[in-house]
Amino acid sequence: MAKLGFIGLGVMGSRVVKRLLDAGHEVTGYNRTASKAQWLVDMGMRLAPTPRAVAEASDVTFTMVTNTAALLQVFEGAHGLLAGLAPGKTYVDMSTVSPAASRELAGRVTACGASMLDAPVSGSVVTLEEGKLTLMVGGDRDVFRKLEPILLDIGPKATYVGDNGLAVTMKIATNLSLAVQMLAFSEGVLIAEKSGIKREVAVEVLVNSAIGSPMVKYRGPFVLQMPNEAWFNCNMMQKDMSLALELGRDLAIPLPTTTITNELLTAARGMGLEDYDFAIVFDVLARLSGVQTGREGKGQAS
């Protein structure tokens, strides 16, 4: 078993670490709020004081953080993970960040003699806990092959997609469809509801119909009751939608459904709903339709 490091122990990252611990790996972790990682320490994870200390203690170091700015915070500086890398070590970023930034970091990792893969995931907390999460991987193919057994301890399928930055591009292409699907699902529920069909009946029919993708099946019921902790909140989804729109402009690809859905996410933030899972776009559309949901904003838009 390789010595593994993991930086970023949020909703998804912490559960990835649990799977690695369950598979028998030795894991050293770092989280900005150390107390949130105590349950992993109780399972056997070692807690390090800095990202650099994680990289120094590990053969393979993973990161899974919210955005490009957060990634740079744990990557750079005297206490950053880059300072802890050395020849023969491998760095795997599982965050969804700018592809250009990912490629730039890969160049800096290579310059110090280490290797880097970008390996974002497709799935949710539920699919991760059920062992159904899939990974897409960019970087050197030989490095991918070497690490593939470890990646398969996280999820049952890891697909190599090409050079550095291409896996995170693939993740952005995937995530834009999640929000668009959720908006279309919301439209269908509201058409049914305002016609006289109970909301819970409409949800049951739609999630079990031809449009019942895996995402619709596990997130569709959120229009009835939101989870206490957002799986992927509005701000996180809008970050990915913005990355998609940026790529669309760069590649001269019009993204009309992405644009419209992104505006609904902006409206959610304006209504103080940004801390909810992005399925809250249903509430935005419901309010515009004169339909009550009973959910109130948790705060003001930033």
Architecture of the 3-163 domain? 3-Layer(aba) Sandwich (3.40)
Does this model's pTM top 0.85?
yes
- Please check the confidence at residue 192 and state whether its pLDDT lies above 80: yes
Per-residue pLDDT tens for 35-81? 889 999 999 999 999 999 999 999 999 999 999 999 999 999 999 99
Strands 46-47 and 60-63: unpaired
Residues of the chain with CATH 3.40.50.720: 3-163
Q: Token digits for 128?
A: 């991760």
Cβ-based neighbour number of residue 114 at 10 Å? 21
Per-residue confidence band for 298, with pLDDT thresholds at 50, 70 and 90:
low
Q: Is the pLDDT of residue 300 over 90?
A: no
Domain with CATH 1.10.1040.10 in the chain: 169-288
Q: Please give the DSSP secondary-structure letter assigned to residue 83.
A: G
User: Into which CATH architecture does domain 169-288 fall?
Assistant: Orthogonal Bundle (1.10)
3-state secondary structure 214-265: HHHHHHHHHHCCCCCCCCCEHHHHHHHHHHHHHHHHHHCCCCHHHHHHHHHH
Active site residues: 171
User: How remote is the C-alpha of 221 from its chain's centroid?
Assistant: 20
Rounded to 10 degrees, what is the CA torsion of 247, 51, 155, 158?
50
Which sign, positive or negative, has the C-alpha torsion 247, 251, 252, 253? negative
Does the structure show a pLDDT above 50 at 7? yes
pLDDT for residue 110 is more than 60:
yes
